Structure 1
């Protein structure tokens, strides 16, 4: 990233005290040093969204490491959804870019370009029932298959682009007017449930005096999660 512009990217950070003109003129060794001092005392407006921000956001998404089948890695603000087996599932929009948010009084409006992209992440974990290996009826559970089926970018219900990854970069083009942009994710799991039954079970020796009868079933579940942003399309530059 451009080291001169980088310090100016931050907004709503905690500002330092107001600096005098002397502090900006004295002992400023470079343009990057000047930008750092400026960013520490105020926020810098730009005429158009900066490409550095998009580069930063893409890097953030690529750095995201999802969990495994037993762990869901999620932002604190994510809306978690739970099913019978799939739990802590979510979809989270990281950024709509290029875009800018205008705050006016108590209202905020997100303006986006007609052509752009949405960066999103998703994750979940699988709650496998406990095994029961005692008595005349025994159960064993395991995961047969689990996956993110689809990640879809929608604009007021229309599918614009899709993939099936934990980290998604979804592009859109030709938008206009007011748009509700949403990312909708379908997650599925297929479990293996083995049931063993003994009709002649000896509870004293905790063993089967006859034959174990085995039956196997494959319960399935699909959970859909989403996240959305209300936007107004305009030409930002």
Structure 2
């Protein structure tokens, strides 16, 4: 229960106005000193996007000094964000019944006595907003989390009574936040009582990964005023803990008692996130192994024993600009001040770097334009279209019985994939042979035969890969044979089989190639012999000269055979 004290309320309002006058109207700046138990090094990494200030960092330790001047990307979600938000949430300015402090731009609701009422979500945590593109930036949350909110309002004391036709000395008997509750898609999941700084919890969001949910915070406010002459001692009107049917507002009144209640709401849309990505493993005849990770949602790292694959996604933290400025409202006053409570948010962005492993690559056919980061952010965001649903492929040397550990974008949302859940794909070696069927001065006809090197079965290329002869694509038939006629080349002809990606094919194959020299005319035969004899003759002549000039007895080269 908040008690009315006209003197203390006026004093608070004056203090806040003075503070507002002393601040500039420019964008709020981050705190310059660590708070809430954070050390200087960690604290300095959290404020990406703020104007870098060497003055603010001049007294910090060496590393803290550097990070204070730089926007720092993270490879994993920092827990410091939640620690900071809990501390700043508790320090949001408190008021009394005559004054309300509201984030600039947040809408307020008025009733007869309750004025400038609002509830605003301060933070959802743990969470990460993924900046996939300029128009796609879901707020990812894990299986469980918390919603931090702020509630405030003020009370307009009644004076003139329209029914009685004269002023009535009303006494404020009751003025409180009765309850605050959290709803997920309209269903209540948690509730707190008599607090203007609620922390509400959720768990087990329904639906598959990628499902959107609406988190709504509702606050029930109530005031009771009594005729100070007829009832110098306050009495309270009973009101249920929550209005039936969820009505937005209401009031009851008699000749000497007026009770008013109001429900205010704020909502945010979140997307469920789980980094349990599908993993495939390819095993080749030479013992070489690869893994492929294909998913519709971004992830950070995948580890298999001593091998760790880093995706292109990176993280940064920045304050929420909607809380930069606060409005201080009273019956006849309106001022602004730089907010002393600045919630942080973790953001994910696609970087210019492809997966960090020499043997890893990123493939994908559907590309998306990268996002535009806010002004003042100096981070290595992608500058060219990148795969929307990529497959990351990497060569590994980890035993096939090792777990796959995936680090997700949301803190605490990691996944361990058992080896039994990893699809194992055997890659078959292929045997490709190319033969000349006919040749003349203008053209040459060749036959390419493609078979499984292990089973000898013919391979039809229409759905397992691409076969090219002298750069021209051809298709083998059910017998694994393709015949093609091409203009006669000056020398050799090469055929190459490029298989479909092993992680998409029903049967995976390895690449193979073959080369033949085109014969068929005496002139071409002489030309080929000349091409071979010229370098051989040069070598023999050089050996003869060295033998005669130095006496090293290297002539003839076949001496001693």
- The bucket for the TM-score relative to the shorter chain is 0.7 to 0.9
1:13 aligns with 2:50: yes
Q: How many residues align?
A: 204
3-state secondary structure, aligned to 1:107: coil
1:112 deviation in Å? 1.0
The corresponding residue for 2:269 is 230
Q: What stretches of structure 2 of length at least 5 have no aligned partner?
A: 1-37, 55-59, 231-253, 275-409, 414-561
Q: Is the CA contact (8 Å cut-off) linking 1:137 and 1:195 kept in structure 2?
A: no
1:147 aligns with 2:176: yes
1:166 aligns with 2:203: no
1:136 deviation in Å? 9.0
CA distance in 2, matches of 1:225, 1:163: 15
Q: Is the CA contact (8 Å cut-off) linking 2:176 and 2:222 kept in structure 1?
A: yes
- In structure 2, the CA distance between the partners of 1:158 and 1:74, relative to structure 1 (3 Å rule), is same
The corresponding residue for 2:104 is 76
Q: How does 1:7-86 map to 2 (within 5 A)?
A: 7-15=44-52, 33-48=62-77, 50-86=78-114
Moved over 4 A (4+): 135-138
TM-score, L = length of structure 1: 0.77
TM-score, L = length of structure 2: 0.34
CA distance in 1, matches of 2:214, 2:167: 50
1:217 aligns with 2:256: yes
3-state secondary structure, aligned to 2:41: coil
1:69 deviation in Å? 1.0
1:130 deviation in Å? 2.3
3-state secondary structure, aligned to 1:5: helix
- In structure 2, the CA distance between the partners of 1:149 and 1:15, relative to structure 1 (3 Å rule), is same
Q: Is the CA contact (8 Å cut-off) linking 2:182 and 2:191 kept in structure 1?
A: yes
1:77 deviation in Å? 3.2
CA deviation vs aligned residue, 1:51-78 (integer Å, no higher than 9, x gap): 2111110100111232111111222232
CA deviation vs aligned residue, 1:92-145 (integer Å, no higher than 9, x gap): 11100001112221332111111111111111110012258xx99552212121
Q: What stretches of structure 1 of length at least 5 have no aligned partner?
A: 18-29, 197-214
In angstroms, what is the RMSD of aligned CA positions?
2.7
